[in-house]
Chain A
Amino acid sequence: MSRIFISGYGAVSPAGWGLPAMRDAIAKGSLPQARALCRPGTEKPLDVRQVPSPNPRPAFLSHPRLRRASSISQYALGAALEACATSPGALDQKCLGVIVCIFSGCVHYSRPFYDETLKDPSTASPLLFPETVFNSPASHISAYLGSTAINYTLIGDSGTFLQALALAAAWLDEKKVTDCLVVGTEEVDWLTPEATRLFDRTIIPSEGAGAIVLSTTPTQVELKQITDEFLYSAEGKATALTRMKEALGPFDQRALLLDSTSGSKGIFQEEDHLWSSWPNRRVSPKQILGEGLMAGAAWECVLAADELKNSEAAEAIVSVAGFHQHAIGARFAKVF
């Protein structure tokens, strides 16, 4: 199989638009307070971390496809354009594969659309409905970039982002595409914390996107491995995580670990325990940025690539423990 390299990456997060904002937030280890979202039917607000409004407003948001698009599409394209900007050729050709990964999807428009439907379906807005469809962000990205090549939207637990990287590698190996953009993106609405708090009340949902461009052209960062998907339904979460760790090992002495915990209790307990004896540097982006679901897994990979490019780390391990589906890991390496 061909060697696969990361030729570009970008991020939109509660820290702001662009990777530098996210990098700074991770380095400082703190973000401003979470925002309280009002929820109908109760006075108790729900905490989330939202992406701040961009300042200045990026030109791409004036594109006809993006003007009325839901935030999730705007975040996805923001991260994608940053990733493509550093990837030679990705913006210039019509054979860029696009894979967008989503966990909860386009809730900003689907909730009001369904609300309108319940009140009176004959007046439900036709402007909202198309943006509720899962693949609208992926469609907007391909349209904006002008690529008619294959385009998938994958749904699943957050490790689906790593599965998408493997799929992109397969497309590149089969020469189906010349470069492949993989995006993980989410947006939050009061429905998101309403749902997550049923499983763990400590979770603060967040939103944004992370994007990676894969290519067969050598760069400073190489994708080395993506493990199998270890389903919780087969043997339980703890065993799935252990098998994922075993599949990733042995580890380089200087390896950096990026994990998907946003705490050490509740649903994050098993993953936190799994890596508790990690001897080297360990970064948990979601502890700072919030539970970004699919965007969270994308942030892990973006930060892994960025660290390998800009620090002395020779190898980065990405651990993703999904909410309820699976554990998957990845390994990236610096190219010397």
Chain B
Amino acid sequence: MLFPAPTCKESRRVVVTGVGIITAYGTGWEANAEGFRWGRSAFRPVTIFGTTRQRVKTAAEVEFTNPFPQTRLTSREVSRFERAGRLLFYAADEALRQSAWHSSPGTPVILGTTSGGMASGEEFYRAAIQSPPILRKQATRVTHYLSQRQAMNLCAAYDLTGPINIIANACAAGANAVGHGFEMVRSGRTERALVGGYDALSQLVFAGFDSLQALSPTTCRPFDVNRDGLALGEGAAVLALETLSSAQERGAQILGEVAGYGASTDCHHLTQPHPQGEAALKSMRLACDSAGVKPEQVTYVNDHGTGTPMNDSSEAAAINTLAGDCVSQIHVSSTKAGIGHLLGAAGAVESVVCLMALKEQWLPPMMTTLHPDPAVKFALVQKPAKAKELSRPFEFALSNSFGFGGANASLLFRRWS
């Protein structure tokens, strides 16, 4: 029953026992860890739609090199998948295999996305405006456009019964999905949750960001004084969350702990953050408070860091305020410099980056930032770094995701050792 829902009086610790990831770096933990660790650039000319009339012609596009996961779905059903659904399945399959959840009745599936099956929606529209309109396959296109379709396919493929929650909080959606699942497990509403985010490149969204002149015509350089915009990417990440006691009872491998979550709303403007990052500060503080962790205990922040002039100055102000006197000891980078902005997938993918960094004890660099903005008072990670080179232990990583409409979310991860 969704309401009244079971709850427990004491908060439960929530750990990650499975992770799946696909980005322009590749499919799976190893390929991505290698890319993030060295800050490789994965941008290339867009091939999945025309960009001749766009200002910008590159993005971090995924190459599907691995075979599609084998599931209960038939090859005919899989053939109807659009790009976003395929990305989601690669990530979910890896996470579910790693978690070894053999049976999970009632496990919530919580996903963040900004555009779901937008490519199918675009196809539907192009067919509908033909004269005469093309009707063949239109029913398939319209159902696969709907964001819930990808989650329903996931449930059918892996015998999951839901409930399904699709959070569409723009670029914070993936982080909200992870945070929402964390809160459900922590409060006792569920023992487990499959959470994540996914988004594929689509013509409409690409043209939208280009129309706003938000895309960088040069290189995405978060926190660089010469930054001139963001770069788009695509991908998916899925995390298997469960209580610590459940994971320990079944001897599961623990990849890290979700320690805190905070969400807030920036009312300043639909597309621009508050200049001093008030809501960003609020979400970071809420994440730390919910974990019982002081900001000075945070060693690394995987920031939202889009590379747009306004986001980065606002976020820098917020991090400076959050850290106070300890600001120089906080290390900050944006992995969007390498794989672009993954929109609804960003928060989930960057959660996995934090888990990788904590587990393997390195900091992901952003190699394109050469001339830091003077507003930055924290330590930017501009080259590959090992945690043992730091002056203090690397136990906590904070991940920020801030979206259109002022949707702000922060997640705090703890190293599992």
Which A positions have Cβ atoms within 8 angstroms of B?
Answer: 1, 4, 40-42, 65, 98, 102-103, 110-111, 113-115, 117-118, 120-122, 124-126, 129-136, 138-140, 142-143, 146-157, 160, 162-163, 165-167, 169-170, 173-174, 191, 194-195, 198-199, 223, 225-229, 231, 233-234, 247, 324-326, 328
| A228/B138 in contact, CB under 8 A | no
Residue of A41, A103, A162, A174 near B183 (CB, 8 A) is A174
10 more A-B contacts (CB under 8 A) besides A139-B407, A156-B147, A228-B2? A124-B211, A139-B406, A142-B265, A148-B265, A148-B279, A163-B2, A195-B142, A231-B152, A234-B161, A326-B162
Q: Considering the complex, which residues of chain B in the window 125-181 have a beta carbon less than 8 Å from any beta carbon of chain A?
A: 125-126, 128-133, 135, 138-139, 142-143, 146-149, 152, 155-156, 161-170, 176, 180
Question: Could you give 15 example pairs across A and B, Cβ below 8 Å?
Answer: A41-B128, A103-B146, A114-B122, A121-B53, A124-B208, A126-B211, A132-B208, A147-B267, A148-B266, A150-B264, A163-B163, A199-B139, A225-B4, A247-B1, A328-B2
Chain B: interface secondary structure? Answer: mixed
Among A102, A133, A223, contact of B170 (Cβ-Cβ < 8 Å)? A133
| Contact assessment for B406 and A233 in the assembled complex, using a CB-CB cutoff below 8 Å | no
Contact check, B4 vs A231: say whether CB atoms are below 8 A apart: no
Decide yes or no whether B263 CB sits under 8 A from chain A: yes
Point out the residue from A98, A103, A162 that lies within 8 Å of B265, measured CB to CB.
A98
B271→A130 contact, CB < 8 A: yes
With A130-B270, A163-B163, A170-B187: A151-B265 Cβ-Cβ less than 8 Å: yes
A42 touches B265 (CB 8 A): no
How long is the Cα–Cα vector from A195 to B125 in the complex, in angstroms? Answer: 10
Q: Are A170 and B155 in contact (CB-based, < 8 A)?
A: no
Given contacts A4-B3, A166-B3, A228-B2, contact A156 B164 (CB under 8 A): yes
Q: A103 vs B149: C-alpha distance in the bound complex, in angstroms?
A: 12
Q: Which one of B5, B142, B176 lies within 8 Å of A198 (CB-CB)?
A: B142
Pairwise interchain contact B169-A152, C-beta atoms closer than 8 A:
yes
**Which chain A residues lie closer than 8 Å to B164 at the CB level?**
156, 229, 231, 325-326
The 7 A-B residue pairs whose C-beta atoms are closest, nearest first, are A139-B405, A129-B208, A166-B2, A134-B168, A229-B163, A226-B3, A121-B207
What's the least CB distance linking A267 to chain B, in Å? 12
- State whether B168 touches A194 (Cβ < 8 A): no
Q: How far is the CA of A290 from the CA of B334 in the complex (A)?
A: 47
Residue from B125, B133, B270 whose CB has the most chain A CB atoms within 10 Å: B270
Interface presence of B276 (CB below 8 A): no
Please state if A227 and B2 are interface contacts (CB–CB under 8 Å): yes
Say whether A155 contacts B116, CB under 8 Å: yes
Q: How far is the CA of A4 from the CA of B3 in the complex (A)?
A: 10
CB-CB under 8 A from B161, the residues of chain A are 231, 234
B124 touches A139 (CB 8 A): no
0/1 interface trace, chain B 90-114, chain A, CB 8 Å (1 if under): 0000000000000000100000011
A305 to chain B, nearest CB (A): 15
Q: How far is the CB of B389 from chain A (nearest CB, A)?
A: 38
- Let me know if A122 and B279 touch, CB within 8 A: no
**Is A122 in contact with B116, judged by CB distance below 8 angstroms?**
no
Q: In this complex, what residue of B is CB-closest to A138?
A: B405
Please, how many angstroms separate the alpha-carbon atoms of A120 and B156 in the complex? 39
A98 to B211, CA, bound (A): 29
- Residue pairs across A and B with CB atoms within 8 Å: the count is 216
Q: How far is the CB of B395 from chain A (nearest CB, A)?
A: 26
Are A155 and B267 neighbours in the complex by a CB distance under 8 Å? no
Are the CB atoms of B405 and A135 closer together than 8 Å? yes
Which of A4, A111, A132, A151 has the largest number of chain B CB atoms within 10 A? A151
- Please tell me if the beta carbons of B162 and A169 are within 8 angstroms of each other in the complex: no
Whether A155 contacts B1 in the complex (CB less than 8 A), given A118-B126, A126-B211, A231-B164, comes out as no
B1 contacts A226, C-beta separation under 8 Å: yes
Is B403 engaged at the interface, CB distance under 8 Å to the other chain?
Answer: yes
**Most chain A CB inside 10 Å of its own CB: which residue of B4, B129, B278:** B4
Bound CA span A132–B207, Å: 12
**Measured CA separation A324–B180 after assembly (Å):** 24
Q: Are A142 and B148 in contact (CB under 8 A)?
A: no
**Closest chain B residue to A119, Cβ basis:** B53
Residue of A nearest to B405 (CB): A139
Q: Are A41 and B133 in contact (CB under 8 A)?
A: yes
Q: In the complex, what residues of A have CB within 8 A of residue B142's CB?
A: 195, 198
Contact B4 A154 (CB under 8 A): no
B54 interface hit (Cβ, 8 Å): yes
Give which listed residue, A40, A136, A138, A160, contacts B129 with CB less than 8 A.
A40
Residues B211 and A166 in contact, CB atoms below 8 Å apart: no
A153 and B129 contact, CB distance less than 8 A: no
Q: B138: which A residues are within 8 A, CB to CB?
A: 195, 198
Contacts of A162 in B (CB 8 A): 2
Q: Which of B249-290 contact A (CB under 8 A)?
A: 263-267, 270-271, 278-279, 282
Question: Chain A residues near B211 (CB, 8 Å)?
Answer: 121, 124-126, 129
B86 within 8 A of partner (CB) = no
B213 at the interface (CB under 8 A from A): yes
**Does B7 reach chain A (CB closer than 8 Å)?**
yes
B204 within 8 A of A: yes
Q: Interface code B344-366, partner A: CB below 8 Å = 1, 0 otherwise?
A: 00000000000000000000000
Q: How close is A219's CB to chain B, nearest CB, in angstroms?
A: 17
Contact assessment for A41 and B130 in the assembled complex, using a CB-CB cutoff below 8 Å: yes
Cβ contacts under 8 Å, A328 to chain B: 2
Contacts of B163 in A (CB 8 A): 163, 228-229
